[in-house]
Amino acid sequence: MKKDFLPVGTVVSLKNSKVKVMIMGYYPSGNAKPGYVWDYSGVLYPMGYTDGSQILQFDAEQIGEVMAMGYQDVEQFSFIERLQEAAEKVKTQEKEEEAPDADGKTE
């Protein structure tokens, strides 16, 4: 199942929060949850980027509402398609790595 990624520049509100966040990237990792890869990175709206400590990481499930959609064109649609394909490959590899071997052990 392909994930529908929102375009960079999209402004969202997060569930259980009053802040608005502008999406600025995909699949970041961070110190808050070592080894975990989030769906999105973003910055507070309307301030934008002020310094590296203000970059937020969040998953699609944490989005409460899309306030404004980011710019979309052919290049963005093509990028999202490649991102979805890469995400599917990663998920497939993760499932294969978690599958038990002949002894019932996972790697």
Q: How distant is the alpha carbon of residue 65 from its chain centre?
A: 15
CB burial of 65-87 (b: ≥16 within 10 Å; e: otherwise) equals eeeeebeeeeeeeeebeeeeeeb
Question: Is residue 35 a contact partner of residue 24, using CB atoms and an 8 Å limit?
Answer: no
pLDDT at residue 1 tops 80: no
Note the pTM of the prediction, 2 decimals.
0.79
Cα separation, 71 vs 74, whole angstroms: 10
Cα separation, 78 vs 66, whole angstroms: 21
* pLDDT at residue 63, rounded to an integer: 97
pLDDT confidence band for 100 (50 / 70 / 90): low
* DSSP 3-state of 13: strand
* pLDDT at residue 101, rounded to an integer: 56
